[in-house]
Amino acid sequence: MKKTFMGVRLRRLREERGMTQVALARALDLSASYLNQIEQNQRPLTVPVLLKINAVFGVDVQRFSDDDEARLITALREALAEAPPGPGGEGVSLAEIRELAAHMPAVARTLLALHQGRRAALERLEALGAQNAQWGLGDDRSAAAAPWQPPAPMAYEEVRDFFFARQNHIATLDDAAERCASDWALQPGRADECLARRLEAAHGVRLADGAELPGGAQRVFHADTRVLQLAAGLSRGQRAFQMATQLAFLEQGAELARLAEGAGLSSDQARALARIGLAQYFAGALVLPYTAFLHAAEAAHYDIDRLCRQFGVGFETVCHRLSTLQRPSARGVPFFFIRVDRAGNISKRQSATHFHFSKVGGTCPLWNVYEAFAQPGRTVPQVARMPDGRTYLWIARTVSRRAGAWGAPGKEFSVALGCDIRHAPQLVYARGLDLANPAAAVPIGMGCKVCERGDCPQRAFPPIGRALAVDENRSLFTPYAVAATQSERPHL
């Protein structure tokens, strides 16, 4: 373990408990002077001290992980890239961002919340302006005169952040799902049979198969008649997942509501979305029980195709479940999971560790999630390096959902799973790749709007807060930092 200086976080933990340094030192069996040196970042927070904190206070040591710091650094860089330069034209350096994330994480999160509110307000203003222009309306003076109210965050973004803050692992639901899988004797690859019996025996719910459901839904539950309709054409694994989701609402409804209500979400819509997301989390944990699935994944060196055959589910389901295996007593590889369409729209993103997905649009075209569309059905590996020097192993593959009728459009996505390069040797997909050679990694970024790579051949436009320097003697545009004064900027 590298030296980790987390003095501010330890001091905040002590203040939350209302303890003096002497009292905390006594509880941790440390000298008061040694504890004071840790809080002043004169000594690192060691593994034995972390284990004592966990034993005495029951605090998850993930709270002191540098993964959380890395997420904050990435999010701050993205937010500050949109901020105007200071009075002297200077920006915020990476060293200052690191200092803020490491020593004042609460301040950093407050800044991110303010930035998120500002961006949401701008998006709503743009949408309102477009709507007024469409209908030929003028400025709404009455609305402008009204007191300003901070805009409510987008519900689905709130729910994503809820899962992200928990490293995509909900312990109570995972444990409950594993107990249910054991009590009901679920068999890998045949879970649908057992779940159908459970629905009927415990809840009087019968299945209606082969239905063409409205709106492309895969499951509709009629509470009055106790009928669960499943869409036509679902595989056994998909049927099992839909039945498991309904069982989550029926048997874990109180826990779903408790988690959603305690998440600090700002609207009923966000809480409803959270309950759905939590029910689907329970369903995945029920069909793929934690311990059995983790052991199978490790034995197969995370070969996704083998896991699909063993548990009778699809590629996307396995990838999603792999990104949740972060039980403190038995952690799997911390994966990032993403699903994207051809246009670059991210419809699913989950991260069990420090990788941060851009929220300002435009993911990197050099990322293998897009190369997968050119090789449908084939798993495409990639060693990729981010601008901050971190290197990752990514695998991507397309998944398709055919339409139910001739001429109707289907669905096609690229599903990707990634991990830090230090975990890559555990994966079968690393075989034959030159993991130790930095030059072999593909340089990618989080998207042109926030990427600092000035020499990227795929750059579409300059980063936010920068301009383009036009060189008449060259055929390329070269981005450069915005000049300190207006007179130093080129006229484009």
Query: Is there a domain that residue 145 lies in?
Result: no
379 and 416 both lie in a single domain: yes
| pLDDT of res. 490 | 40
Look up the pTM and report it.
0.72
Rounded-to-integer distance, Cα 85 and Cα 92, Å:
8
323 neighbors 415 (Cβ within 8 angstroms): no
| pLDDT of res. 477 | 46
φ/ψ of 327, rounded to 5, equals -65, 130
Query: Is there a domain that residue 308 lies in?
Result: no
Own/partner pairs, 364-368, CB within 8 angstroms, 24+ separation = 364/444, 364/445, 364/446, 364/447, 364/448, 364/451, 364/458, 365/458, 366/442, 366/443, 366/444, 366/456, 366/458, 367/394, 367/416, 367/444, 368/394, 368/395, 368/396, 368/416, 368/442
Query: Is there a domain that residue 194 lies in?
Result: yes
Rounded-to-integer distance, Cα 248 and Cα 275, Å:
10
| pLDDT of res. 447 | 74
270 and 339 both lie in a single domain: no
| pLDDT of res. 132 | 62
Query: Is there a domain that residue 380 lies in?
Result: yes
Our count of domains for the chain comes to: 4
**What does 141-209 look like in DSSP terms, one character per residue?**
HHHHHSPP-PPPPPHHHHHHHHHHHTTT--HHHHHHHHHHHHHTTPPTT-HHHHHHHHHHHHH--EEEE
Query: Is there a domain that residue 106 lies in?
Result: no
Query: Is there a domain that residue 247 lies in?
Result: yes
443 and 472 both lie in a single domain: no
Rounded-to-integer distance, Cα 321 and Cα 311, Å:
12
Nearest in space to 399 (alpha carbons), one of 417, 426, 420: 417
Question: What length is written for the chain?
Answer: 492
189 and 244 both lie in a single domain: yes
Query: Is there a domain that residue 56 lies in?
Result: yes
| CATH for 249 | 1.10.10.2910
Query: Is there a domain that residue 418 lies in?
Result: yes
| pLDDT of res. 297 | 97
| pLDDT of res. 484 | 36
Domain range holding 485?
462-492
411 and 485 both lie in a single domain: no
| pLDDT of res. 151 | 55
Per-residue pLDDT for the chain (492 aa), expressed as one digit of tens each?
445 566 777 887 788 788 888 888 888 888 888 888 888 878 887 878 888 887 777 766 565 665 667 777 777 877 777 676 666 556 777 778 877 877 777 788 888 878 777 777 776 776 666 656 555 555 554 444 445 455 566 788 888 888 887 878 999 999 999 999 999 999 998 999 999 999 999 999 999 877 677 777 889 999 999 999 998 888 999 999 999 999 999 999 999 999 999 988 888 999 999 999 999 999 999 999 999 999 999 999 999 999 999 999 999 999 999 999 989 889 999 999 999 998 888 888 887 666 656 655 557 888 999 999 999 999 999 999 988 788 999 999 999 887 666 777 778 999 999 999 999 999 999 999 999 888 889 998 877 777 777 778 887 777 665 555 555 555 444 444 333 333 333 433
Last residue of a domain, one of 264, 294, 324: 294
Residues whose CB falls within 8 Å of the CB of residue 150, separated by 6 or more in sequence, listed in order: 117, 121
Residues whose CB falls within 8 Å of the CB of residue 419, separated by 6 or more in sequence, listed in order: 333, 334, 335, 336, 353, 392, 393, 427
| CATH for 59 | 1.10.260.40
